[in-house]
Chain A
């Protein structure tokens, strides 16, 4: 609609300013983000492909990869269900304390992961009030995989809801209300109306949760106990290798996590590209 105004001059339109700013941004991004990303792979392959495969084939590394995938496999579905329910309640209904609920949801973003790990250790460790009871019943959660799953759930719980809330707020509730009036049941409503509208954001939320879950370090290192071949997740294993002066092996493991990060970014770019296209298609009609 504003195409007539586009010809007018806006701030920063002069070529000198424009190309200086773009150039500066590209140089800074290269220094701060691109070179570090490339150097992960450079370090991983510095001794050649054979060494790379060898260090990934190490039994402890394989175990760490397995444990990390296992933790993510448990964490992601829990936070997926919670994220959808939370987004549904805060975007579809008005109730007192709604804003407070959204602020509480942000706690894992604000709290240091070490503090998060400590909170769980104090409660479920042998000295905690729940932990003491568990100890009597021979249940060990801390320094074992359940503890790792619990803190990972804590650290990654906001991501799905965070992706869904702005989108569901923007879409409004009219479609869903119409479906209810036409007689749809709750489950039909979710599967046929809500889910198709939010599926891409939901998928991105899941992928982001997964990326954070496989990469969580601080909280996990407090509750894991770092037992090699038992409770070492991939990020902890990377630390162990790195501090053991096996930098190449550390970077080989790190490259796996970097690939997961790259897939996450590519997926996000893909979703945004789709949205833009859908937007353009809508406005030309």
Chain B
């Protein structure tokens, strides 16, 4: 470690001069255990009381499987859309100067700051048949509210900021030399973008899309108002858990929740490992 040459590690290794290591780490660990890890024991205990076959039966119930499919498909479409729109937004915010740029930059974070229930009723009203967008789309024969398409709209709304905020800093730091060389040598804008810029942005773009996908899988508040929540058609998995809870079927709710929890933890760890690897490669060179 100490022999690697990089700008950051050029200084000698520090002894621990600063105070508060025990206090800050100790209380952080205590807090994380109490708030994040302890609650998981309840879920583990609840599901371990079920037999394996009962567990399997509950999580592969036809209606539940339909909800996995709807949730995953909607999240895939929403995050791919956000990948494209986010890349466009990041590009325009970094590369161009125009009036209102600061407002646009601030607006990108609106979905983070706006409560999901507010987003939900707003989108439902806009896309309903008598709403501003619903009326226009109805003329084209497209129904969004109370269909699976509504789920996609809600998911992409709530996860717009992820791609922009991961791509933006990388795009800002991109050195212009290679790009200028490409243009000087007579390559078209598009081929320079595809061959030089896109490969540098790719890791950040993948991270952003993956974050947006993870967030979309778990989205609840915004979705339930627009989805119509028809069993087998437009019912997301989070809602499935909620329905089982309202039936006081705690074991079933816990079993489905464990599937969702495991999937999101795997995604979270995969994203963090991937991000650490590409950051290392980026700064290692």
A110 contact from B118, B264, B276, Cβ within 8 A: B264
Q: How far is the CA of A121 from the CA of B46 in the complex (A)?
A: 11
Enumerate chain B residues within 8 angstroms of A266, measured Cβ to Cβ: 106
Are the C-beta atoms of B189 and A154 separated by less than 8 Å?
no
Q: Is B250 an interface residue (CB 8 A)?
A: yes
A73 close to B (CB within 8 Å): no
Contact (Cβ within 8 A) B265 A107: yes
A196-234 interface with B by 8 A CB criterion: 208, 211, 214-218, 221-222
Q: Mark B67-100, 1 if CB is under 8 A from A, else 0.
A: 0000000000000000001001101100110101
Chain B, 209-235, CB within 8 A of any chain A CB: 214-215, 217-221, 225
Contact yes or no, A14 B189, CB < 8 A = yes
Q: Is the CB of B217 within 8 A of A261?
A: no
Choose among B114, B189, B220, B245 the residue with the greatest number of A CB atoms under 10 Å from its CB: B114
- Residue B138 at the chain A interface, CB threshold 8 Å: no
Q: Please state if A120 and B268 are interface contacts (CB–CB under 8 Å).
A: no
When chains A and B are docked, how far (Å) is the Cα of A138 from the Cα of B89? 54
Q: Are B119 and A109 in contact (CB under 8 A)?
A: no
- Chain A hits for B117, CB < 8 A: 215, 217, 235-236, 238-239, 254
* Chain B minimum-CB-distance residue to A218: B220
Q: How far is the CA of A252 from the CA of B131 in the complex (A)?
A: 18
B105 touches A85 (CB 8 A): no
Chain A interface main SS type: helix
Query: Which A residues touch B237, using CB under 8 A?
Result: 112
- Choose among B113, B238, B268 the residue that contacts A115 (Cβ–Cβ < 8 A): B238
Q: Is B129 positioned at the interface, with any CB of A under 8 Å from its CB?
A: no
Contacts of B91 in A (CB 8 A): 12, 21
User: Would A25 and B115 count as touching, CB distance under 8 A?
Assistant: no
Complex Cα distance A231/B184, Å? 66
Tell me if B19 and A186 are in contact (CB < 8 A): yes
> Closest CB-CB distance, A56 to chain B, in whole Å?
15
Decide if B35 is an interface residue (CB 8 Å cutoff): yes
* CB within 8 Å for A12 and B193 given contacts A36-B157, A103-B268: yes
Please, could you name 29 A-B residue pairs with CB atoms under 8 Å apart, sorted by A?
A5-B180, A10-B176, A10-B183, A32-B160, A34-B107, A36-B157, A39-B122, A86-B24, A90-B28, A93-B16, A111-B260, A112-B217, A114-B238, A114-B241, A122-B39, A122-B43, A123-B39, A127-B250, A130-B42, A177-B17, A180-B17, A189-B19, A235-B116, A257-B114, A260-B113, A265-B113, A266-B106, A268-B106, A269-B102
Chain A residues near B (Cβ < 8 Å): 2, 5, 8-12, 14, 17-18, 21-22, 24-26, 28-29, 31-37, 39-40, 43, 82, 85-86, 88-90, 92-93, 95, 99, 101-116, 118-124, 127-130, 153-154, 157, 173, 176-177, 180-181, 185-186, 189, 208, 211, 214-218, 221-222, 235-236, 238-239, 242, 247, 250-251, 254, 257-258, 260-262, 264-266, 268-269, 272-273
Residue numbers of B with Cβ under 8 A of A are: 14, 16-21, 23-25, 27-29, 31-32, 35-43, 45-46, 85, 88-89, 91-92, 95-96, 98, 100, 102-119, 121-123, 125-126, 132-133, 156-157, 160, 176, 179-180, 183-184, 189, 192-193, 197, 214-215, 217-221, 225, 237-239, 241-242, 245, 250, 253-254, 257, 260-261, 264-265, 267-269, 272, 276
For the A-B complex with A36-B119, A177-B14 known, give 5 more contacts whose Cβ atoms are closer than 8 Å. Answer: A21-B96, A22-B92, A113-B218, A157-B35, A176-B18
